Structure 1
Amino acid sequence: MDRAQACAFWLDSGPPSPGDGLAGETKARLRAAYGEPHRRYHDMTHIADCLGELARVEGLADERRLRLAYAIWWHDVIYDPTRSDNEAASAALARDDLAALGEADSTCAEVARLIELTTGHQVGEDDPDGALLVSIDLAVLGRSAEAYDAYASAIRQEYAHVPDAFFRPGRAGVLRRILEAQPLYPDPAYRARYEDQARANLTREIATLS
């Protein structure tokens, strides 16, 4: 398939069709990973939400949009709340899978780089694709209070194995580090849309954790 067709295929969060070949098999495997029973937030709903955000971004060339779609599909494919290398492992899997799909080494490397940015959500200067991916991944923080609370509850469920005495200060520390980011959303359009609400949501959750 050409780049426009590939872009349309990977922007679609639905299940693959029988005739989709290796790309369809790969998407089916990714969907299965996002359906693991321990996932409450980092699941296909999150991936579909991120793809929807990307689809609404105007002015992206097919090549850029496809790389970002790849990064979204693979960025949480390995997710185990008991380990600290999920992003790195997901990036490595993306490299292997995309190479098997026939993508150029440069594309595989760029997608892996983008995925690893979601570890700390920090982006350097002059990195518009990194800024966009990180901002899309953090979009939930700037949604309505009700949507944010549903997200926070889902995260707590994913960390159900951690007692409150450890979860509360740990989660509060993570949220404070996010709040320290200036700006929280590196992409200007997302900053204008979500920054104020995200800071209000984060501050409110921190208060409930104290």
Structure 2
Amino acid sequence: MTPALYPVWQDLLLNFTQEETRIQQLWAELEAAYSGKNRHYHTLHHIQSMLQLAETHQVRAQGPLLLKLAIFYHDAVYKTTRNDNEEKSAQLACQRMKGLVLPPADLDQLGHMILATKQHQRQPQPDTNLLLDLDLSILGSGWLTYWEYTQLIRKEYSVYPDVLYKPGRRKVLQHFLDQEQIFKTGHFTALFEAQAKENLRRELDILAR
């Protein structure tokens, strides 16, 4: 078990079940998924960073428990050769939570939140926008941290040669730059928007070489 995260998971799941064995089983599944040999950025460290960022900035979620569940499950399925990772992650989250005391409306919302991480478009539900901003916060980090992140992403896509990877990566970066705002909440826009755009443009310049 990952010492830093299991207590967070345990405290979260105790809101839905008192079965310690079930909590441990669900965690073991998540831990194995995020520890896959082909994962370099989308690991438990990414999950921990999102949770810490939410706590550090004391973000005010309308449904903090659902937000945490979405954080834990949003990259549970991640294969760079597929384009349905978000759908599979949402499906897994809803399947695993269905047997707990989670109302159908909350299950629907959980699935929707995870699916929204596919396109990162502004959503009508505030907590979904908050999840998106936490997920993309790395884009607004200092350049050295951002550059390390890009190298980890490249490792995850190592199956693809540069001739395929670079155009795909440029398309992703341009997708974010073409949006009116990368970040969907006022708080994270103020914190990260300017730096994120600078980082994305700088990476685009490097990819063009």
Same fold (TM > 0.5): yes
AA partner of residue 132 (structure 2): V
Q: CA deviation at 1:143?
A: 0.4
Q: Which residue identity lines up with residue 64 of structure 1 in the other structure?
A: G
Structure 2 counterpart of 1:71: 70
Alignment match, 1:116: 115
Shift of 1:7: 7.9
Aligned residue for 1:138, secondary structure, equals helix
Distance 2:77 2:149 in 1: 19
Distance, in Å, in 2 between the alignment partners of 1:195 and 1:48 is 22
Q: Give the superposition deviation at 1:10.
A: 3.4
Work out whether 1:145 is the aligned partner of 2:140. Answer: no
DSSP-derived class of the 1:199 partner:
helix
Query: How much does 1:101 deviate?
Result: 2.5
Partners of 1:131 and 1:188 lie apart in 2 by 10
Structure 1 CA distance for aligned equivalents of residues 95 and 131 of structure 2: 20
Identity %: 33
Cα displacement (A) at 1:6: 8.3
- Label 1:59 to 1:171 Cα distance change in 2 as closer, same or farther (>3 A): closer
The residue number in structure 2 matching 1:80 is 79
Indicate if the aligned counterparts of 1:7 and 1:66 stay in contact, CA closer than 8 A. no
* Secondary structure of 2:80's aligned partner: coil
Please report how far the alpha carbon of residue 98 of structure 1 lies from its aligned counterpart in structure 2 after TM superposition: 0.7
Name the structure 1 match of 2:4: none
The correspondence of residues 1-210 of structure 1 with structure 2, limited to 5 A, is 9-10=11-12, 20-58=20-58, 60=60, 64-124=63-123, 126-210=124-208
Q: Distance in 2 between matches of 1:76 and 1:192?
A: 26
CA distance in 2, matches of 1:6, 1:159: 30
Task: Give the residue type in structure 2 aligned to 1:121.
Answer: H
Query: 2-side partners of 1:58 and 1:189: how far apart?
Result: 11
Structure 1: how far apart are the matches of 2:178 and 2:59? 30
Q: Which region of structure 1 is more displaced relative to structure 2, 75-84 or 45-54? A: 45-54
The superposition leaves residues 21-41 of structure 1 with CA deviations (integer Å, 9 ceiling, x where unpaired) of: 312221221011100000001
Amino acid at match of 1:99: K
Question: What is the CA-CA distance between 1:57 and the residue it aligns to?
Answer: 4.3
Aligned-partner residue type, residue 93 of structure 1 = L
Which one-letter code corresponds to 2:156 in the other structure? E
**CA, structure 1 residues 7+59, in 2 after alignment: closer, same or farther (shift >3 Å)?**
farther
CA distance in 2, matches of 1:107, 1:23: 19
Q: What amino acid sits opposite 1:9 in the alignment?
A: D
**Which runs of 5 or more structure 2 residues have no equivalent in the other structure?**
1-6, 14-18
The CA distance in 2 between the partners of 1:6 and 1:158, in whole Å, is: 27
Tell me by how many angstroms 1:59 deviates. 6.2
Tell me the secondary structure at the aligned position of residue 83 of structure 2. Answer: coil
On the 8 A contact 1:6/1:66 being kept in 2, the answer is no
Separation in 1, partners of 2:147, 2:59: 32
After TM superposition, the score normalised by the length of structure 1 is 0.88
Contact 1:39 1:158 in 2 (8 A): yes
C-alpha separation in 2, matches of 1:68 and 1:209:
34
- Number of matched residues? 197
Question: In structure 2, how many angstroms separate the alpha carbons of the residues matched to 1:59 and 1:137?
Answer: 14
